[in-house]
Amino acid sequence: MNVWSIKSILSWADTYFSQRSVDSPRLTAEILLAQALGLRRLDLYLQHDRPLEKQELAAFKILIRRRIAREPVAYITGHKGFFKDQFRVAPGVLIPRPDTETLVETAVEILSEMEDCGRQARVIELGVGSGAVIISIANACKSHLYFGSELSSAALAVACANAKSFARTPVSLFRGDWLAAVAPQPLFDLIVSNPPYIPSADIEFLAPEVRDHEPRQALDGGVDGLDAVRVILAQAGDRLLSSGRLILEIGFDQKPLIKSLVQGFSWVTELDFIKDLAGHHRLAVFKK
């Protein structure tokens, strides 16, 4: 009878995932085995010769089948690392991406300048998803007031759970469609959002992990990818304080479209673009 050890099952899973073109096969095998065994990844190597029991093998194989069906690892494990925390995620909630950390870093830089001047800012995120962005900003700059809106009830429930577990300063979350639920008066110093910005026709060409599992309403930006951006720009002008800023994550090739679009919004006095670590224009920063 074959006895599987942690070391041998990892080697087998690595090969199995590689043959099926699963991204990062070794890392995926380690994450899923650690999940099945209730261990840290480090423990897999500290206990590499440990034989696995029948029920442990069965639990691992269930996770393998889910990954082969292209379910994202984050949905299988129920969490995703972002900025400085491991946030809860679930089906129906957009998985936070490393590129979006640029949004957090830029917001923190702006808010830190306000702190140095002794100002307390009001900050709102539109479409919070898991809540990872607004919670990360709030944890980095604790002296400001934080809010977040989310249309999806499923995502809002996850964001509230994350806020309860990880927010080290209060974050007020509510259900709303962008800024529609907020009175049209100057209230905020900073508005941030990672809206859907993928053109509808491009959705079918996304990786199956994204196309078939993540919420379409968090991805699909309409014909040119800018439907949500137009709505947010139309709503933000009345709700930003003078010299307030709106920061939007955008597609790497959307800078020209944004520059053209913004000409129709007279409240915008300055427009800047910020690159991510890969050198792509990742953020558009609008100043009132």
Spatial separation of the C-alpha atoms in residues 271 and 263, rounded to whole Å? 10
pLDDT digits 0-9 by tens, 220-257: 999 999 999 999 999 999 999 999 999 999 999 999 99
Spatial separation of the C-alpha atoms in residues 77 and 60, rounded to whole Å? 12
Question: How confident is the model at residue 246, as a pLDDT?
Answer: 98
Residue 87 contacts residue 43 (beta carbons within 8 Å): no
Label residues 158-182 b or e (16+ Cβ within 10 Å = b): bbbebbeebbeeebebeebebbeeb
Task: Write the DSSP symbol of residue 49.
Answer: T
- Binding-site residue set for substrate: 194-197
Question: How confident is the model at residue 36, as a pLDDT?
Answer: 96
Maximal CA-CA distance, the chain? 75
- Binding-site residue set: 127-131, 150, 178, 194-197
- Binding-site residue set for S-adenosyl-L-methionine: 127-131, 150, 178, 194
Spatial separation of the C-alpha atoms in residues 39 and 264, rounded to whole Å? 54
Spatial separation of the C-alpha atoms in residues 59 and 56, rounded to whole Å? 5
CB proximity list for 105: less than 8 A, separation 6 or greater:
none
Question: How confident is the model at residue 1, as a pLDDT?
Answer: 54
- CA dist 152 to 17, 57, 106, 218, 277, Å? 33, 36, 26, 10, 30
Residues of the chain with pLDDT under 70: 1
What is the amino acid identity at position 280? Answer: H
